Amino acid sequence: MHIQVKKEFMKSFILLSIITGAVFVSGCKDYLDQVPDDRITIEEVFQKKASSQQYLANVYSYVPDISRQWEGFPWLGNSDEVDITWSKYSVYALNMGNMSAGNVLFDTWGNLYAGIRSATYFINHIDGNKEILALNGQELIDQYKAEARFLRAYYYFLLMQQYGPVVLVGDKELAADATAADMQIPRSPFDECVSYVVAELDQAAGVLPLRPMNNNQVSDAEYGRATKGMALAVKSRLLLYAASDLYNGNTDMAGFTDKGRQMISQTKDAEKWKKAADAAKAVIDLGIYNLYQDPSGDPVKSLQGIFFQPWNNEQIFVRKSNDLAGWDVHCMPRRAGGWNGIAATQEQVDAYFMKDGLTIQESPNYRETGFKDTLGQSIYNMYMNREPRFYTNITYNNAIFQGGSMQASAAITFYLSGPNGKNGHPTDYSKTGYLVRKNLGSQTNIGSGGNGQRQNRPLALFRLAEIYLNYAEALNEYEPGNADIAKYLNLVRKRAGIPQYGEGENPLPVPAPGAAMRNRIRQERRVELAFESHRWFDIRRWKIAPQVMGDVHGMNVNKDGNDFYARVVAGSHLFRPANYWFPISQYEMDRGRMLVQNPGW
């Protein structure tokens, strides 16, 4: 790592952006890299407030921008909820099974360890900053250290969800003249990783403010900086994962060992579910977050406002700098100047409830034959009488759309010879006959014929609805029948505008405790958190990926007219046992001789 400090420092603290010109950190691609040897420069950095803030901003810059799901991350396109239409991107190769330790796709190992090292260096060197002590006192130093500690824990969590057990480096820094032998560290069993990260998050949460602060005052300008709620939310998700089948008594991983140590727990522990439930409830009990509700009471506006009302009280952890405008244009139809290729699967379309709150298999209102005239369009009955989240999240054939370069609303079609169909472009067409509409900023106009306008907004990484569902799931596993399970599940359904279980207007029967309630919670999670990078991890931790992956379906985009409305295979998203985690690259394995590879790789 080499750090260069210019004489003139930036006056403002730019959060979640890569710092250039002031403090530039490079060459941190691997966790085994040695510490900087330019010690005089480093000492100067940590004696000044501005340069220390800029160093911390660089630590924030490692928070991934997961809006780039078409090329940067596989969490949507390598699940059963989305098909990314373009074969030029790596997710296509991943879906075809073309990955190995010698060719790791979407490899974040080195970059996240660079973030971890950067955070550790900050934690170890910020104490004694003369300028901060003189201007703000030890309290601000403690807050900055807590922010870096939170970020370090978060980066460990991201590594764990992708790779399983990881290398825990701790607070130790390697000397500049450290030998290769000094840098050999094995992976720790997953439960040890969980304990370490939870302890780090707890320590950070004990110092971090409830709201972003500047000079001890709540400041909108500081939104995006670490808070107590962010630390507790990451803890909630981590402990939920740790309690789930993939990590809790998973005898399928009995052979995953390192010198006799089991890397994955072989004995189920119900107390893990209690820890997960308690962690989610701790976020709820902060009392500062609420499900977003539009003042009009319109469920559709409420569902849209979650993402388009910046800094609303449902958002817990956001990334201010992002490429959501890129997401917008990739989700938009060609008629609006979009790239027309982030396509919802038929499996995801089928997951949405009907307006009576029942699934399509249960509701007497569901039909897959015939049409109904609505707003001057002939709408296939499959799309009628669905819940508000369906209409908010999915662009289907003959759905009305306005945005991008479309100045007036019009029906969007996906059949073969239509303006968004396969015949109109060799690559930019939906293979399923659907597009994702969730969190699509219609004011963005950066595609074909666009004027360059971007509808900027924060990228929500954690929000309260997830925490409610985390709590309901964990509590159902630990204490089936607890009244809070239906309560928090119903809060999500009520905001979505569909009947609740056991209360409200047109109530549905409360699911029986245990398996029946588990199924309802999983259904709700799939719909409420769709297209937010949850499904990839959920189907693995529940160990249902072998059942739900494989062929994905859609409408027949090779046909015109009513022949379009037929379920066909749209693509293949392969899954094999090795795909529960990504492999560690052979490059890292060769350098870290104490590393054990993930099963199947």
**CATH classification at residue 485:** 1.25.40
Q: What's the whole-number average pLDDT of the chain?
A: 92
pLDDT range class, residue 175, cuts 50, 70, 90: low
Structural domains of the chain, count: 1
Predicted pLDDT at 43: 78
Q: Quote the percentage of the chain above a pLDDT of 90.
A: 88
Closest CA to 84 of 554, 591, 592: 554
Residue 496 lies in a domain: yes
Residue 578 lies in a domain: no
Specify which of 17-26, 122-131, 180-189 reaches the highest per-range mean pLDDT: 122-131
Predicted pLDDT at 219: 81
Give the mean pLDDT of 487-504.
98
Cβ(324)–Cβ(456) under 8 Å?
Answer: yes
Residue 10: both structure tokens together: 């930036």
Give the mean pLDDT of 318-344.
98
Residue 541 lies in a domain: no
Residues 571-585: tens digit of each pLDDT: 999 999 999 999 999
Maximum alpha-carbon separation in the chain: 76
Separation of alpha carbons 371 and 379, rounded Å: 5
Predicted pLDDT at 35: 47
Give the mean pLDDT of 536-564.
98
Separation of alpha carbons 322 and 296, rounded Å: 29
Predicted pLDDT at 41: 72
Residue 172 lies in a domain: no
Residue 475 lies in a domain: yes
Residues 259-303: tens digit of each pLDDT: 999 999 999 999 999 999 999 999 999 999 999 999 999 999 999
Give the mean pLDDT of 104-127.
97
Question: Given a cut of 90, is residue 28 above it in pLDDT?
Answer: no
Residue 287: both structure tokens together: 């009392």
Which of 15-24, 340-349, 532-541 shows the lowest per-residue confidence on average (mean pLDDT)? Answer: 15-24
Predicted pLDDT at 20: 30
Predicted pLDDT at 39: 47
Predicted pLDDT at 31: 37
Predicted pLDDT at 216: 75
Question: Given a cut of 60, is residue 21 above it in pLDDT?
Answer: no
pLDDT range class, residue 11, cuts 50, 70, 90: very low
Question: Given a cut of 80, is residue 3 above it in pLDDT?
Answer: no
Residue 337 lies in a domain: no
Closest CA to 429 of 341, 557, 516, 524: 341
Predicted pLDDT at 169: 95
Q: Which domain holds residue 257?
A: 222-319+458-510
Q: What angle do CA 568, 552, 495 make, to 5 degrees?
A: 110
Residue 145 lies in a domain: no
Give the mean pLDDT of 130-155.
96
Predicted pLDDT at 425: 96
pTM, whole model, 2 decimals? 0.93
Helices (H) and strands (E) in the chain, counts: 19, 18
Reduced DSSP (H G I as helix, E B as strand, rest coil) percent helix, strand, coil of the chain, to 5: 40, 10, 50
Separation of alpha carbons 384 and 391, rounded Å: 10
Give the mean pLDDT of 96-112.
98
DSSP 74: -
Residue 341 lies in a domain: no
99-109 CB burial, b ≥16 within 10 A, e <16: bebeebbbbbb
Separation of alpha carbons 377 and 598, rounded Å: 52
Cβ(70)–Cβ(84) under 8 Å?
Answer: yes
Q: Quote the percentage of the chain above a pLDDT of 70.
A: 92
Question: Given a cut of 90, is residue 40 above it in pLDDT?
Answer: no
167-202 CB burial, b ≥16 within 10 A, e <16: bbbeeebbeeeeeeeebebbbbbbbebbebbbebbe
Separation of alpha carbons 179 and 194, rounded Å: 29
More confident residue, 379 or 176: 379
At which residue do the structure tokens 């029967």 appear? 509
Cβ(471)–Cβ(277) under 8 Å?
Answer: yes
Predicted pLDDT at 172: 86
Residues 388-424: tens digit of each pLDDT: 999 999 999 999 999 999 999 999 999 999 999 999 9
- Other Cβ atoms closer than 10 A to 3: 19
Give the mean pLDDT of 483-504.
98
Predicted pLDDT at 176: 58
